[in-house]
Amino acid sequence: MGAGHDHGASAAGQRHYGRLWAAFVLLATFMVVEAVAALLTGSLALLSDAGHMFTDVLGIGMALAAIAATRRRSGDPQRTFGLYRLEVLAALANAVLLAGVALYVLIEAVRRVGAPQPVAAEPMLVVAAAGLVANIVAFGLLRAGARESINVRGAYLEVLADLLGSVGVIVAGVVIATTGWWYADPLVAVGVGVFILPRTWRLARTALRILIQVAPEHVDVPRVRSRLATVAGVCDVHDLHVWTLTPGMEVASAHLTVDPSVEVGVALRDARQLLHGEFGIEHATLQVEPLSPADPCGPADW
């Protein structure tokens, strides 16, 4: 006997879908502007900030993908889990790309420290200031939703972190414009690159954990097993599996051996409420196996 329920996008995520799209378009546009300006001005700091802004666009894009995936179910009956894993695959691919960009920026910055190159400080300042304004607007768009939705909160934190990068580029531009000290550009680029790499590693690590179906870090599987065993009438818990389908969607399955005197529906309801209330697992498939009246209520042999 199995039980489960669909995990849809949160109502909060749906309410702020339009704001997410607005922030996505705004930041994606300025990301392209910054990348082009970096090539034209020769600013490595501006290029690194464009790469950092790409992490914002990626974070918001993943939030949009999560909401869109729950809005639209796949029509293919063979795709029993829908298209949720596309978000994870995209995250892994983008993590590899981001790591490449960050490493390029770091290597180029080290090279430029030995041989500083002229940078067009005035255009660099204008574009960096415009990027800062874009981040502030995106910050305002996402602020309300960040209090209600974990998806929106992740995108909000990405934008908040990018504000630091934009400020760093502006500082480098001011230093170069007023003192002609070219070292400011590669030094800021190194700072932004170092800031990007750990976040890229965390993104890749999270995606890999999901793809190989490792239990979520915040879920203690032995404790899940022991807590399920405390449900009234449950004699044994076996074949327990906990994994993440897509970020924010934890899934569990288990077999529960129950005393024959226990009403199956009650045991099933209590177990599902426990998983939801204590571990945040909202999608659970539980197989309930009543013992025969002659069997004692104890651990199963399998």
Q: 210 near 88, Cβ under 8 Å?
A: yes
Most confident among 33-42, 69-78, 119-128, 224-233 (mean pLDDT): 224-233
- End-to-end Cα distance, the chain: 18
Does residue 14 carry a pLDDT above 70?
A: no
205 and 228 in a single domain? The answer is: no
Domain end point (choices 211, 246, 273): 211
150 and 235 in a single domain? The answer is: no
Domain end point (choices 167, 185, 211): 211
Domain end point (choices 211, 241, 268): 211
Total count of domains within the chain? 2
Question: What integer best gives the mean pLDDT of the chain?
Answer: 80
141 and 195 in a single domain? The answer is: yes
Distances (CA, A) of 87 to 5, 10, 62, 164, 289: 21, 17, 6, 27, 36
248 and 163 in a single domain? The answer is: no
The reported pLDDT for the residue numbered 10 is 45
Confidence label for 296 from pLDDT (cuts 50, 70 and 90): low
Residues above pLDDT 90, as percent of the chain: 20
Amino acid, single-letter form, for residue 172: A
Q: pLDDT for 24-36, tens place per residue? A: 999 899 899 989 9
Q: What is the extent of the structural domain holding 278? A: 221-290
35 and 176 in a single domain? The answer is: yes
The reported pLDDT for the residue numbered 73 is 56
230 and 177 in a single domain? The answer is: no
250 strand-pairing partners: 244
pTM over 0.75: no
